[in-house]
Amino acid sequence: MLVLTGEPALVRLARSILEPDRIVSGSAPFGPESLAVAGAADIVVIDLEAVDQDAILAVRRAYFDAALIVLSPERGETACIAALEMGADYLPRPFSPTDLAVRVRVAELRRFAATGRPRFYHNGALAFDLFSGKLSIDGQTVALAPSELAVLAHLAGKAGGVVGYERLLGDAESAGSPRGRAALRSCVMHLRHKIERDPLHPEILLAEIGVGYRLAPPTAGPMRRPRDCLPKDPE
């Protein structure tokens, strides 16, 4: 999620509310320069002094498939309608943390519905919910560190496709640095210990040398027999 704002406190607030389930990045206030360097995002929060349809349209062009949420101190029906007509949700300032969290979760659900993107990644007994960020294996919840969750979410969102180092690390500088690559390799190894039968011979989280990583294409989960069909103990 990207927050276009001139207030660092707003970015910190969004991170405190939404991370680690969602990675939040901040940028300069809305403008051509901030859009040019902001990077990829599936949800964009735009902090405006007043609802400006030209500004919303510019963000829509830059992030044509992202969900937009407009924040503004401007209140009233006119401001709300103006944002909605541009395909953006509207949240007047000041707002409660719960209000922002709910808007983001609704935006995520709408994106799943609009794009037809699968909400779940399954591979055998492994199941990952891209909406809630929950991972389970054989029905048992597996705890993930924030960095592990971020990497798995990126990969599961493009299951079967390669995700480059730059995307996984968040910026080009980290992707090209030895320290950044080493941190990513460490994160991947920890993930493999949690999801692979043999972490040294991975079948799910696969490396594309010199490019990035990918998850194996999703498969159906293992069939489970109903409890009453299980063999009975001999009497």
The CATH number of the domain where 91 resides is what? Answer: 3.40.50.2300
Per-residue model confidence (pLDDT) at position 111: 76
| Residue 231, domain member (yes or no) | no
Per-residue model confidence (pLDDT) at position 20: 60
Query: In angstroms, how far is CA 144 from the centroid of its own chain?
Result: 14
Say if residue 125 is exposed, middle or buried (CB neighbours under 10 Å; 0-12, 13-18, 19+): middle
CA end-to-end span of the chain:
59
Quickly tell me which residue has 């401007």 as its tokens.
74
Per-residue model confidence (pLDDT) at position 203: 95
Per-residue model confidence (pLDDT) at position 18: 76
Nearest in space to 156 (alpha carbons), one of 132, 186, 189: 132
Domain CATH number, residue 125: 1.10.10.10
**Do 125 and 106 have their domain in common?**
no
Any residues with CB less than 8 A from the CB of 33 and at least 6 apart, and which?
Answer: none
List of E strands, the chain: 2-4, 25-27, 43-47, 67-72, 88-92, 120-123, 126-129, 134-137, 140-142, 163-164, 205-208, 212-215
Per-residue model confidence (pLDDT) at position 14: 84
Per-residue model confidence (pLDDT) at position 176: 59
**Do 48 and 14 have their domain in common?**
yes
Per-residue model confidence (pLDDT) at position 21: 60
Domain that holds residue 124: 120-215
Sheet architecture: strand order including 43-47: 25-27, 2-4, 43-47, 67-72, 88-92
**In the listed set 75, 92, 115, which residue is the last one of a domain according to the structure?**
115
Amino acid at 160: G
Nearest in space to 80 (alpha carbons), one of 104, 111, 56: 56
Residue ranges for the chain with pLDDT beneath 50: 37, 172-173, 223-235
| Residue 233, domain member (yes or no) | no
Per-residue model confidence (pLDDT) at position 15: 83
Nearest in space to 117 (alpha carbons), one of 128, 130, 126, 105: 130
pTM: 0.58
For residue 14 the two structure tokens come to 């969004």
Per-residue model confidence (pLDDT) at position 65: 79
